[in-house]
Amino acid sequence: MGGAVSAGEDNDELIDNLKEAQYIRTELVEQAFRAIDRADYYLEEFKDNAYKDLAWKHGNIHLSAPCIYSEVMEALDLQPGLSFLNLGSGTGYLSSMVGLILGPFGVNHGVELHSDVIEYAKQKLDFFIKTSDSFDKFEFCEPSFVTGNCLEISPDCTQYDRVYCGAGVQKEHEDYMKNLLKVGGILVMPLEEKLTKITRTGPSAWETKKILAVSFAPLIQPNQADSGKSRLVHLPPVAVRSLQDLARIAIRGTIKKIIHQETLSKNGNGLKNPPRFKRRRLRRRRMETIVFLDKEVFASRISNPSDDNNNSEEMEEERRDEEETKPSELKPDPPVNFLREKVLSLPLPDPLKYYLLYYREK
């Protein structure tokens, strides 16, 4: 499933293609997609295919095509503080992107049938938290995963603001899925070969919208135990954050505000500065035309016979200098994690600094 957009050379180019094809339409969804590199959720030997708009499956591990995830993220209409349930959470790629939008006071739960995939998802989640360059740009709602069949969820479970099912839902299970939603909530699932968005507008009122034709493997029916009773899946509890954790969120938020204010003061009007490039070494020359294109300056020089005769060696030297500096001038300075730098500069004990940084690797 997929192939709707061209393959990218890297994650950003894949997102550019999804935007151009109108699969990604909102800034929040774009930020989430750019923050998490799709290739990080592939096994090493298959990473060459990570930026193609194709689904990937290896054993029990499965990723839907990027265009499908884009439509799902847009249809869910995610907002900070909402609760989210991912049925068939797989590698955790979608759950992690959702967590970036939900923020620290959201709820992010997943149910996955295969225990080996749960372990894989936990490894990928840990890798993202510890190493991602983009982690500190967000306050993350970390997903929690449980093993089980999503058709066996305990009937006394809480309802959610947003629900996604990553497997084909048979018509007889439609009402079961709807009952997982709060009033005002949104359910997105493949239903009868169509990716479908269902909004619960009242206790017994629904609005249904077909998004696009899809082909998903169907939900696996529960296995009945010898006694004839199924094994209920108990979702993670909605836990209240500890005072220590709330303090970390508040401190990080305050530091981010200070960094933002400092940036505004430095920039004056608050506009983002373009990437800084190394300056080219130039000699003074008289010019008649200047053209600006993609941060490069092209100039035509006013020449006269005496210039041509006397300065040919100087011009040749300038040409060599420009060729030598061209690769470096196009290379932006490496990104700076201002939050990390600010925390490390605080007069605090090292263990507290590391706690504020989630013990992340540099």
Mean pLDDT score, 47-60: 95
By C-alpha distance, which of 76, 39, 322, 312 is closest to 189? 76
At 60, give phi and psi (nearest 5°).
-90, -10
Quickly state the pLDDT bin for 282 (edges 50, 70, 90).
Answer: very low
- What is the spatial distance between Cα 330 and Cα 106, in angstroms, rounded to a whole number? 41
By C-alpha distance, which of 34, 238, 248 is closest to 139? 248
- What is the spatial distance between Cα 8 and Cα 64, in angstroms, rounded to a whole number? 16
Residue 205 pairs in a beta bridge with 202
Question: Is 296's pLDDT higher than 50?
Answer: no
**Can you give 221-235 as a three-state secondary structure string?**
CCCCCCCCCCCCECC
The length of the chain in residues reads 362
Check if 64 is active-site: yes
Question: Is 223's pLDDT higher than 60?
Answer: yes
Domain boundaries, the chain: 11-222+230-239, 241-262+339-361
Question: Is 317's pLDDT higher than 70?
Answer: no
And the tokens for 247? 């303090």
SS3 at position 183 = strand
Q: Which of 64, 70, 89, 95 is catalytic?
A: 64
- Residues near 277 by Cβ (< 8 Å), separated by ≥ 6? 295, 329, 330, 331, 332
- Residues near 175 by Cβ (< 8 Å), separated by ≥ 6? none
Confirm if 38 and 18 have CB atoms less than 8 A apart. no
- What is the spatial distance between Cα 113 and Cα 121, in angstroms, rounded to a whole number? 12
Number of H helices, E strands in the chain: 11, 11
Which pLDDT score is estimated for 267? 80
Cα 195 to the chain's mean position, in Å?
Answer: 21
Q: Is the pTM of this model over 0.85?
A: no
Quickly state the pLDDT bin for 7 (edges 50, 70, 90).
Answer: confident
- Residues near 347 by Cβ (< 8 Å), separated by ≥ 6? none
Neighbours of 170 (CB within 10 A): 14
Neighbours of 233 (CB within 10 A): 18
- Residues near 106 by Cβ (< 8 Å), separated by ≥ 6? 80, 81, 82, 83, 84, 99, 141
pLDDT in tens, 322-336: 555 555 455 566 678
What average pLDDT does the chain have? Answer: 85
Fold adopted by 11-222+230-239: Rossmann fold (3.40.50)
